[in-house]
Structure 1
């Protein structure tokens, strides 16, 4: 092997982005609770990282589906198997409307740089789990804590640094990663993330903020919980978004799709 061939063999894997890069109008479904319905004729499934068995992920991939695994990167969920790894020192305030009596609650995470020695390895382990289970990518949730009453005074800069770190760590593992909500930071993050996922942009008239992803030829996945598909689907299709309608519990039932019938 000559020197030029050696250099090419070394550099191609580095500069070739092997992870999933969905284009606009990619079809998808989103189910985070209950037994996964594997029969839907869509290109991408977004499912829970912890709760979904490896066998289900394998079945979806054998059927040609891309599998994205959901986990919360910006909140502490006291029912997750790695909950004991989070000390109280990295917890902010309880998330509004996300505390189910005494059994399940969520707290905002203090993702400031000073806490990354604790939080970083936990999130890296979750990304490793996604890779080991066969996920093609990840959907990290609650990565817009700075816009909420988080109890720890997160700043725009705190969030931006954390989100860029998440994208880098996902890509180190050849995992695709989506930007969840966090609309105001899109101009600075569109280059770091492979696609976007947003909730209720049509309901709140915020969809134009997602166009930088479309302009970069990257998919935008939208989930609406209210409103009529007859109203928002024509707009969605014109904007080249991939929009679904679902119930808040995301149990896979009573769903509607703008792009396909499943």
Structure 2
């Protein structure tokens, strides 16, 4: 029999060392996980964790709460308060996705938008573009959408379709109209205790990064546009990035190199995901 430290068998020593190492790793991971703000407070994004977030984006299908992700981007209408409570009990940060520049005829609040604020219909989605210049007309509806997020336990909101000036919206929207609208929405989110995030709208990232806490991006690697998101990454703010094609071993080298949290998803944004490894 081989004898280890203190006269104990070597096998026993190895078991003790392995158990000690495992305990040390658990303690280290727990110590590195940022505390989640209490319900009713906006989500915080500690700079020290910017490069290590794991995230999930699910808008369709049955929600899978068991996904090993720190951050979930979800639909505030289909997601229930019970589901958000369950996720928060597991220290998950929750982002609700709100369409701020468009409305779908099936949305429960669609009738609240005045006719003069409704423009062209987007190809493929059936969504109707809004006249973002009419702040007094659209603000009450969007404020209530944000309150729905807050009421269900979300601590952050990401603005979708916040780029109507680049689309055939039916209105003569320009860069400055959109910039003012997006900044107003970021301020509105903060006033309702939500952390604001920006989805897309890459041409305005340099101007808007100071107003937002994080960004969500689709396919910046495939489109060779990841450098446009550096104002967020350089400021220590999370960039949650997704690719819909390719293998993670290829695009992760680029996106993680930029400091982004990256995953591969189906375009339907169901529960399936493949995550890039954290740095």
> Is the TM-score greater than 0.5?
yes
* Alignment deviations for residues 211-251 of structure 1 (CA, whole Å, 9 cap, x no partner): 11111000101111122212101111111101111111111
* Alignment deviations for residues 127-167 of structure 1 (CA, whole Å, 9 cap, x no partner): 11111111011111000111112111211011000100010
Which structure's residues are more often strand, by fraction? 1
| 8 Å Cα contact 1:22/1:194 also seen in 2 | no
Question: Aligned residue for 1:197?
Answer: 216
Distance of 2:244 and 2:172 partners within structure 1 = 29
Question: Aligned residue for 1:83?
Answer: 110
SS class of match (2:198): strand
| 8 Å Cα contact 1:20/1:175 also seen in 2 | no
Distance of 1:160 and 1:193 partners within structure 2 = 12
Distance of 2:46 and 2:221 partners within structure 1 = 21
Q: TM-score, normalised by structure 2?
A: 0.81
Match of 1:169 among 162, 171, 188: 188
Report the CA distance between 1:106 and its aligned residue: 0.5
Question: Aligned residue for 2:207?
Answer: 188
Distance of 2:61 and 2:223 partners within structure 1 = 28
The answer for unaligned runs of 5 or more in structure 1 is 1-16, 99-104
Question: Aligned residue for 1:252?
Answer: 271
Match of 2:45 among 7, 21, 30: 21
User: Are 1:54 and 2:54 matched, yes or no?
Assistant: no
**Residue correspondences, number:** 235
Distance of 1:27 and 1:230 partners within structure 2 = 16
Distance of 1:196 and 1:259 partners within structure 2 = 19
The answer for unaligned runs of 5 or more in structure 2 is 1-40
Report the CA distance between 1:34 and its aligned residue: 1.6
Distance of 2:129 and 2:212 partners within structure 1 = 22
Between the two structures, name the one with larger relative contact order (CA 8 Å, sep ≥ 6). Answer: 1
Match of 2:162 among 143, 146, 151: 143
SS class of match (1:118): helix
* Alignment deviations for residues 30-76 of structure 1 (CA, whole Å, 9 cap, x no partner): 00012110001111000001111110011000111011111101111
| 8 Å Cα contact 2:199/2:217 also seen in 1 | yes
SS class of match (2:266): coil
From the superposition, tell whether residues 123 and 18 of structure 1 become closer, same or farther in structure 2 (CA, over 3 Å): closer
Distance of 1:86 and 1:35 partners within structure 2 = 30
Tell me which structure has the larger Cα radius of gyration. Answer: 2
Q: Over aligned residue pairs, what C-alpha RMSD do you find? A: 1.4
Distance of 1:19 and 1:37 partners within structure 2 = 21
Question: Aligned residue for 2:34?
Answer: none
| 8 Å Cα contact 2:42/2:156 also seen in 1 | no
| 8 Å Cα contact 1:45/1:66 also seen in 2 | yes
Distance of 2:251 and 2:173 partners within structure 1 = 33
